[in-house]
Amino acid sequence: MTELNSDLLRSFLAVTEAGSVTEGAMRIHRSQSAVSLQIRKLEDIVGHPLFERHGRGITLTATGRELLPVARDVTRTLSHTLRRLSADRLHGRLRIGLPDDQTQGYLTRILGAFTQSHPMVELDVTCALSAGFPDALAAAKLDIAVYETAEPEHSADVLRREQTCWSTARFADFPASDALPVALFDQACWWRDVALAALDAAGRPYRVVYSSQSVAGVIAAIEAGIAVGLLGENSLTRDLRRLGTADGFGETPCSHLILARSPGATGAALDAMEAAIRTAFATGETVIL
């Protein structure tokens, strides 16, 4: 009795999601002729065409639309089962620190890379301003962390550098004759000291109108148009614009992302987490200086 084959279903999904046989074949690293043959074989098995072909590509037939959720469910179940059966048996608990302005995207990549291969390891993740992470590592309150600093030590493990910059809402306009309203991080962050020192050096009068421990909080205040603030380039949104020398703002330092372990912390799970963090930051969007 002829039966559905998961390999055929994967080719069917690739072509469906890509919108063409050529693009679908590229996604699964096969030749166009091989994928075309698999699609014809699958159509022979179900006894109906799966695609309607036209000049702009292909679309699913009624039979194809009926098969689509089944194909997705089958391939997803098989992939999950393979990951579970082939996963190692590392176990334990890891305490990880990540700066909250780097969390979105990176945390998804880190968790995805790690937990699929090491599902028995419990993860305790702290996402916050990273000024306290070095002390937490030294006190063994964190096992591994990524933190930001303006001046890394010579032996520091630098993941990447990011330029800081002054920014404001695109619609905001603050007259030079008035005291400049400023949104800052709280007292624990070195970015606050850098921002205030730059304003003092420029001789520009200012008033602090907003403070927050959260990057999202500072961004919200700037986007609302109530203040200017110092952010990393990767934190700039479409609603913000960068302020430069033409606006009366000078150069600001780079922020260096440092990867560090707690002194004496070892283990295979920790090694695997370090590799996952490195991979996430290596494949993420970076600023090349």
- Chain segment 229-257, per-residue pLDDT in tens: 999 888 888 899 999 888 888 888 888 98
Pair (74, 141) in one structural domain:
no
Q: What is the pLDDT of residue 53?
A: 84
Report the range of poorest mean pLDDT among 85-99, 127-141, 156-170, 229-243. 85-99
Pair (42, 154) in one structural domain:
no
In a domain, 255, yes or no: yes
- Chain segment 5-38, per-residue pLDDT in tens: 899 999 999 999 888 888 888 888 889 999 999 9
> Does residue 285 have a pLDDT over 50?
no
Q: 86, 117, 134: which is the final residue of a domain?
A: 86
- Chain segment 173-195, per-residue pLDDT in tens: 888 778 999 999 886 678 888 89
Query: Which domain range does residue 30 map to?
Result: 6-86
In a domain, 32, yes or no: yes
> Which position has the higher pLDDT, 209 or 130?
209
In a domain, 232, yes or no: yes
> Does residue 2 have a pLDDT over 90?
no
In a domain, 1, yes or no: no
Question: What rounded mean pLDDT belongs to the chain?
Answer: 86
- Integer Cα distance of 288 and 32 in angstroms: 37
In a domain, 52, yes or no: yes
Pair (242, 118) in one structural domain:
yes
Q: What is the pLDDT of residue 47?
A: 93
Q: Which residues contact 149 (CB under 8 A, 6 or more apart)?
A: 156, 190, 255, 256, 258
> Does residue 59 have a pLDDT over 60?
yes
- Chain segment 94-119, per-residue pLDDT in tens: 999 988 766 666 788 788 778 877 88
Pair (148, 10) in one structural domain:
no
- Integer Cα distance of 130 and 190 in angstroms: 10
User: Which of 191, 183, 189 is CA-nearest to residue 133?
Assistant: 189
Q: What is the pLDDT of residue 289?
A: 23
Pair (67, 104) in one structural domain:
no
In a domain, 44, yes or no: yes
Pair (69, 109) in one structural domain:
no
> Does residue 284 have a pLDDT over 70?
no
Q: pLDDT band for 152, please (50, 70, 90 cuts).
A: confident
> Does residue 54 have a pLDDT over 70?
yes
Q: What is the pLDDT of residue 188?
A: 67
Q: 52, 86, 120: which is the final residue of a domain?
A: 86
In a domain, 55, yes or no: yes
Tokens of 4: 């559905």
Task: State the pTM of this model.
Answer: 0.61
- What are the distances in angstroms from CA 27 to CA 9, 11, 40, 54, 65? 14, 9, 18, 21, 20
Please tell me the total count of domains within the chain.
2
Question: Taking residues 134-149, what's their average pLDDT?
Answer: 93
Pair (10, 115) in one structural domain:
no
In a domain, 127, yes or no: yes
Q: pLDDT band for 288, please (50, 70, 90 cuts).
A: very low
Pair (274, 169) in one structural domain:
yes
Q: 69, 86, 103: which is the final residue of a domain?
A: 86
Pair (55, 129) in one structural domain:
no
Pair (170, 221) in one structural domain:
yes
Asked if residues 237 and 138 have their Cβ atoms less than 8 Å apart, the reply is: no
- Residue 174 is part of a domain; what is its CATH number? 3.40.190.290
Pair (116, 74) in one structural domain:
no
Pair (131, 51) in one structural domain:
no
- Integer Cα distance of 25 and 10 in angstroms: 11
Question: Taking residues 80-86, what's their average pLDDT?
Answer: 71
User: Which of 42, 63, 51 is CA-nearest to residue 17?
Assistant: 51
- Residue 13 is part of a domain; what is its CATH number? 1.10.10.10
Question: Taking residues 218-223, what's their average pLDDT?
Answer: 93
